[in-house]
């Protein structure tokens, strides 16, 4: 399966001082943490969690990560991380993200690619029940589409 934005979760984050650099701009490393927060919220908002997935012996390690920075975020800004599934295959899932400010202006766009592995770290097929959950949230479209977290 592949598509655009289906269910889009929204994760609000208040920029902490520790996330900024000497130029008073959010350091690029903070975005990686924010994307992870977005993925975790996305799973919870669908009624599951990474904890439950891992307890069942299924893991989704990050195999690729990219972020394109468009505008700076600064200390105390309220930003929102939008997260959705862009591609779902038998052993791979690709999440996409958009980080926006309070006015809805895009600050960054990114993606992470994950392979499903078992407890031994071997690549494995995404289990049917997990594919069903992930696939139910994947729908072609662009921002503002369906989903509780959509615009």
pTM of the model: 0.85
Going along the chain from its start, the domains and CATH numbers come out as 9-136 (3.10.129.10)
pLDDT class of 138 with cuts at 50, 70, 90: low
Dihedral of the CA atoms 87, 117, 30, 102 (nearest 10)? 40
* Six-digit token string for 46: 């669908």
Given a cut of 80, whether residue 141 has pLDDT beyond it is no
pLDDT class of 140 with cuts at 50, 70, 90: very low
* Six-digit token string for 109: 């766009």
Tokens 């977290």 -> residue:
149
Q: Tell me: the pLDDT tens digits for 24-72? A: 899 999 999 999 999 999 999 988 888 999 999 999 999 999 999 999 9
């Amino acid at each position: 399966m592949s598509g655009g934005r289906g269910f889009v979760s929204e994760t609000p984050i208040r920029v902490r001082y520790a996330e900024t650099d000497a130029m008073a701009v959010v350091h690029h490393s903070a975005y990686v943490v924010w994307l992870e927060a977005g993925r975790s919220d996305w799973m919870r908002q669908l009624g599951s969690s990474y904890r439950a997935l891992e307890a069942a012996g299924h893991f989704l390690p990050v195999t690729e990560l990219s972020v394109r920075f468009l505008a700076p975020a600064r200390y105390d800004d309220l930003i929102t991380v939008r997260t959705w599934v862009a591609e779902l295959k038998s052993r791979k899932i690709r999440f996409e993200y958009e980080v926006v400010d309070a006015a809805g202006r895009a600050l960054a766009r990114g993606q992470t690619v994950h392979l499903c592995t078992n407890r031994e770290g071997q690549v494995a097929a995404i289990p049917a029940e997990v594919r069903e959950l992930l696939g139910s949230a994947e729908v072609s479209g662009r921002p503002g589409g369906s989903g509780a977290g959509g615009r």
